[in-house]
Amino acid sequence: MALKVLNVTISAAKKVKIEIKKIKLNIEKTKLELKKKKVTVEKKKVIIEKKKVITEKIKLKIKRSRLAVQHEILMIKCDEKSDNSDNSLPASATDINTDADADASAAAADLSLFFFSDVLTSFDSLTISSSETLNILSQNGS
């Protein structure tokens, strides 16, 4: 009988040890799952940060392109104004150039708004030089 009690006590102790090991393993498993989730979150943060950097690069490229277009428009206008300052052209030719300026400004404004509508931009007063361009900008802004 003492042997039977001893076996029951030993098997109960083994069961307790096994349960303790199971609990420890479950704790380790939970810790590993938490670490895995942390790593996943960190990866997502890195991806988000990379996307932000890419977005900023794109915005800068767009801004640089917009400024280049504005610069070209201004250079063309300056060249045309210096050509017109000779006063060698008849009045009708000057009127045609003024209309061409308005058309070029309107086209440039349309182009800028089409390609860069998601980027907040401020146009120079030199770029927006005609009331027609202002009308186009207000129509596209609505």
Q: What is the pLDDT of residues 34-52, one digit of tens each?
A: 999 999 999 999 999 999 9
What residues does each domain of the chain span? 100-112+119-142
What whole-number distance in Å separates Cα of residue 96 and Cα of residue 98? Answer: 5
**Residues with Cβ < 8 Å from 141, sequence gap 6 or more?**
113
What whole-number distance in Å separates Cα of residue 73 and Cα of residue 123? Answer: 12
For 67-124, the pLDDT digits (tens) are: 999 999 999 998 888 877 765 544 444 444 455 555 656 555 555 554 444 444 444 4
Cβ count within 10 A of residue 137: 17
**Residues with Cβ < 8 Å from 43, sequence gap 6 or more?**
none
For 6-34, the pLDDT digits (tens) are: 666 778 888 999 999 999 999 999 999 99
Q: 78-110: buried (b, 16+ CB within 10 Å) or exposed (e) per residue?
A: eebeeeeeeeeeeeeeeeebeeebeebbbebbe
What whole-number distance in Å separates Cα of residue 69 and Cα of residue 106? Answer: 13
Does the model's pTM come out above 0.85? no
- CA distances for 54 relative to 49, 60, 123, angstroms: 9, 10, 24
